Amino acid sequence: MRYLWLGAGTILSLFAVNGRWDIPVAAWLFSILLLRFSRSGRAVTGIGLVWLAGVVASMFFLWHVAVPLTGMTALGGMAFGTVLTLPYLVDRLLAPRLGRIAGLLLFPMALAACEFLLGVFGPFGTAYGLLADTQYTNPGLLQVISIFGPYSVGFLIGGLATVVNDLWERPPSWRAARALGVYVGVLGIVIVGGSARLAFFPVSTAQTVRIAGINPSMAAMDAQMKALGQPGLDPMAIPRFDPDTVARESKAVIDGLFDDTRRAAEAGAKIVLWSENAARISVPGEPAFRTAAQNLARQEQIYLNVAVHVYLPTAPYGRDETHFLAPDGTLLWTYQKAHPIPGLETYTPGDGKAPVADTPYGRIANVICYDADFPAMMDADADIMLVPGGDWPEIGRLHTQMSSLRAIENGYSLVRQDFNGWSAAFDYHGRPIATQDTTVDHDPWIVDVPIHGTTTLYRLTGDLFAWLCLAGTFVLIAAGIGLRPKRLRPKSDSRAPSGDQGVQASA
């Protein structure tokens, strides 16, 4: 039977990878089955096969969201599978040595800790491996991240795996069911409390600001990129161009962006946001472009967030940045993308600090696209977060949906303008205010966004819960290494011969 658990757990894990075909309940079930498999046989082969299942799931994610397969992304997929196997490893080797309560806590704490390590120290952030991303259809559950952060959902999912396996391993009795009862009570408090927040503390829409999202024309962009040596918007193609030609080849795109910005202002927009890399300019052309943008903001009396790709004479990609302009033309910030996509982008990264400016429409902040996959850098004292994005159809909707978690965590509305993907505005409960499919050309996208955010406990305390899980994992590992097993594991579900049972007991 144990190989049935492995097969079923592996298949379910494919539908819990932050992908297009995610099934929220699959995220709660696959770890139960993989934990059952890893606990019920030889440690080496069991953990090895769980690791293989993790690598298969990560490669499946890369394939079905059409991430270009490079050496870096393949290595990343292997790393995902390895790190997310560690909770099964420590559970298999050390949980039998611990008391019942400590044994129940080891796996969920290790799971939350590994998600945290990937999200903070990994080059891919939370783009993969964060189980909270699979639960976007359950806003009541997700409100817990405004208190404990995004890794708390992984802790709850890991907790279900251990209490179910604990009940599975014991003879039926009310005493054996107590741990499950406590867990159900905790989960019930989380979901009921989150639902109460949504019902009794709604986001105020008494004061809103009209924000417009602008994308360049796809036809004009395609013609421009062909002239600059990147046909088909291929992110891996190295541009071959004479910097003096950038202004000429980009003129049609920039003129269109300026015209759409004027149209948005005529429609009542007070803040206009361009998608990532909307305008492409060279270093010599920067002063003229910026002056033109400042004049446009001044003429239309709007806050204008222009997103540009600056070609450098000595680098193939250059700078990926935004300029936020006030209605009087003042430059409020220049922000550079802090997290270029590993293996796909070679931009010079910025300092990782989200800029914030006071306006009559609240405190406005800004990051660029992939930056929003790093929860730690999204900690901003803001009312509205602007996120210019540039995706592709297979991942656009998912990537934008992931960013909604940042709104819940930090208590601000979030507006993501995404080229060739999916644009959306979310309130600080993570609920969508408006959306737009941007895989085809549209008129400027207009949305009314609340101008007042809220203060969340997570923004005040940061990743305290995750750090506690990491510290608790190390404490339990140390305790488990120094103790003899408290009890033996039950017999393998595979009805293994006595030799296997002896190896299992000694493990």
Q: What is the pTM of this model?
A: 0.91
Buried b (16+ CB within 10 A) or exposed e, 414-438: bbbbbbbbbbbbbbbbbeebbbbeb
The range of the structural domain enclosing residue 99 comes to: 1-203+463-482
487 in a structural domain: no
Which tens digits make up the pLDDT trace of 364-389? 999 999 999 999 999 999 999 999 99
Q: Are residues 97 and 236 in the same domain?
A: no
In whole angstroms, give the CA distance from residue 412 to residue 382: 6
507 in a structural domain: no
Q: Are residues 167 and 225 in the same domain?
A: no
Q: Are residues 180 and 225 in the same domain?
A: no
Q: Are residues 34 and 119 in the same domain?
A: yes
In whole angstroms, give the CA distance from residue 427 to residue 181: 34
CATH of residue 327's domain is 3.60.110.10
Q: Are residues 199 and 212 in the same domain?
A: no
493 in a structural domain: no
Ranges of residues in the chain with a pLDDT under 50 are 233, 235-238, 488, 490-507
Q: Are residues 198 and 347 in the same domain?
A: no
* Residue 439 to residues 212, 228, 309, 418, 421, Cα–Cα distance (Å): 17, 22, 20, 9, 5
471 in a structural domain: yes
Q: Are residues 135 and 238 in the same domain?
A: no
In whole angstroms, give the CA distance from residue 137 to residue 432: 11
The whole-number pLDDT of residue 342 equals 81
Q: Are residues 475 and 408 in the same domain?
A: no
The whole-number pLDDT of residue 316 equals 58
Q: Are strands 356-359 and 331-336 parallel, antiparallel or unpaired?
A: unpaired
Q: Are residues 161 and 252 in the same domain?
A: no
Q: Are residues 4 and 110 in the same domain?
A: yes
Question: Based on the structure, what is the number of domains in the chain?
Answer: 2
Which tens digits make up the pLDDT trace of 103-125? 999 999 999 999 999 999 888 89
Q: Are residues 180 and 215 in the same domain?
A: no
The whole-number pLDDT of residue 504 equals 41
CB atoms within 10 A of CB 246: 23
150 CB contacts (<8 Å, ≥6 apart)?
Answer: 115, 119, 126, 130, 132, 375, 405, 409
Q: Are residues 299 and 259 in the same domain?
A: yes
The whole-number pLDDT of residue 73 equals 76
Which tens digits make up the pLDDT trace of 201-227? 999 999 999 999 999 999 998 888 888
